[in-house]
């Protein structure tokens, strides 16, 4: 996750501000999956500084709203683990209606090996547009 700060292609980025980047990530390039990551190295949620902690919820909420709108997904999960990649990030996964019942909730992650598709970044422009519009209009404020 740390190396992404220097190597991320702009075509993979939904948004970037001084504290956060939302993007598709190689290895997690499943359609409808995005990563919201701290730009500065911070381990676990407890490693966030006060400003990062204060803005994380808003960024996650707005990204979930944009991904949900852009994909039409009936469920969108923001998930934080941090064991495999010790850099604070949240995986935002939209679960499509096509996902079988035995692959929903936490079992959604079992789809990664079979659903990975480098072309998943094709959703980035649509999610970027939804994120920009929703955050500019304040539509997600009560969502």
Reported as a single tens digit per residue, the pLDDT across 50-88 is 999 999 999 999 999 999 999 999 999 899 887 777 788
Give the per-residue pLDDT at 86: 77
Contact 77, 35 (CB under 8 A): no
- What is the predicted pLDDT for the residue at 67? 95
State the Cα angle at 13 between 142 and 95, rounded to 5°.
Answer: 55
* pLDDT for position 142: 44
- Confidence at residue 1, expressed as pLDDT on a 0 to 100 scale: 59
Give the integer Cα–Cα distance in Å for 10 and 137: 24
For the chain, domains (ranges, CATH) are: 4-99+110-136 (3.30.428.10)
CB distance 92 to 35 below 8 Å: yes
- How confident is the model at residue 104, as a pLDDT? 67
pLDDT, position 143: 45
Tokens standing for residue 98: 């096509």
Q: What is the pTM of this model?
A: 0.79
> What's residue 94's pLDDT?
87
Please identify every stretch of the chain with a pLDDT value under 70, giving residue numbers as ranges: 1-3, 6-8, 104, 106-109, 113, 119-121, 139-143
Secondary structure (3-state) at 85: coil
Question: Is 91 buried (19+), middle (13-18) or exposed (0-12) by CB count in 10 A?
Answer: buried
């Amino acid at each position: 996750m740390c190396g992404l700060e220097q190597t991320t292609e702009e075509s993979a980025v939904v948004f970037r501000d001084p504290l956060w980047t939302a993007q598709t990530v190689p290895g997690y390039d499943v359609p409808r999956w995005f990563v919201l990551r701290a730009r500065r190295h911070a381990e676990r949620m407890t490693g966030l500084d006060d400003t990062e902690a204060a803005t994380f919820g808003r960024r996650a909420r707005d990204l979930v709203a944009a991904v949900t709108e852009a994909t039409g997904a009936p469920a969108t999960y923001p998930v934080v683990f941090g064991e495999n990649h010790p850099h604070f990030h949240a995986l935002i996964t939209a679960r499509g209606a096509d996902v079988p019942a035995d692959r929903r909730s936490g079992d959604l992650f079992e789809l990664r090996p079979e659903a990975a598709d480098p072309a998943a970044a094709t959703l980035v422009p649509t999610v970027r547009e939804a994120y920009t519009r929703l955050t500019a209009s304040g539509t997600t404020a009560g969502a």
